[in-house]
Amino acid sequence: MNAGFFKRLMAYIIDLILVLLISTTISAGINTNTKDYEEQLSNVMNDYMEGEVTIDDYLSQTKDLTYSIQKENIMVNIISCVITIGYYIVFTYLNKGQSIGKKLLKIKIVDKETKEAPSIKAIILRSIIIYSIISGLFNIIFINLLNKNIYFIGYNFLATIEEILIIVSAFMILYRKDKRGLQDIIAKTEVIEERR
């Protein structure tokens, strides 16, 4: 029997929290020089809220500061991306289609045809669609190669596409009879209840 929307959503949330906790814990020891930029960003936000700067000044300064923070956080972003790929692709593959969230909720990913554990290719395709891996890699690779404006256009474009894919996938899982999302259709997988 295919797993329902809310079970899948809860597994997704559990996994996101785990990845965030792991990334934050490992990254906590990395010294970044972002404190000054973050204070400046906070000051710009306060100035805007108090009407001391125009929207154009606010957006320009925020963009500059965010770009500087991203450049300083390159090591943190690399760690986050490695953990995301390691957890959602490698760990899930080695555990035959189950992340910790899926294991706790007794659901798993299987190949649509064989009902066996999915291939690594299927897990990669699924993960690219629903776990923001492409924008994470873009951020790491292009933060130092592209100028600020082109970087933001590319990153925001990819992030928007990823968000749209997640929303479309969620609605597909919610309303399709077979409970398959876009990632399931593209990867030829489905998420099923574990047999007891």
Q: Distance between CA atoms of 16 and 27, rounded to whole angstroms?
A: 16
For residue 42, give its domain range.
33-72
Residues 61 and 92 in one domain: no
Q: Are residues 21 and 117 in the same domain?
A: yes
What one-character DSSP code corresponds to residue 103?
Answer: H
Assess whether 118 and 22 both reside in one domain: yes
> Do 42 and 108 lie in a common domain?
no
- 9-43 pLDDT, tens digit per residue, is 999 999 999 999 999 999 888 877 788 888 898 99
pLDDT band at 196 (very low <50, low <70, confident <90, very high): low
Strand extents, DSSP E, the chain: 107-111, 189-193
Residues 26, 37, single domain; the answer is no
- Whether residue 134 is found in the same domain as residue 67: no
Quick one: 37 and 118 in the same domain? no
Domain match, 171 and 93 both: yes
Number of domains in the chain: 2
Asked if 155 and 81 sit in the same domain, the reply is yes
Instruction: For the chain, give the percent of residues with pLDDT over 70.
Output: 99
Same domain, 124 and 41: no
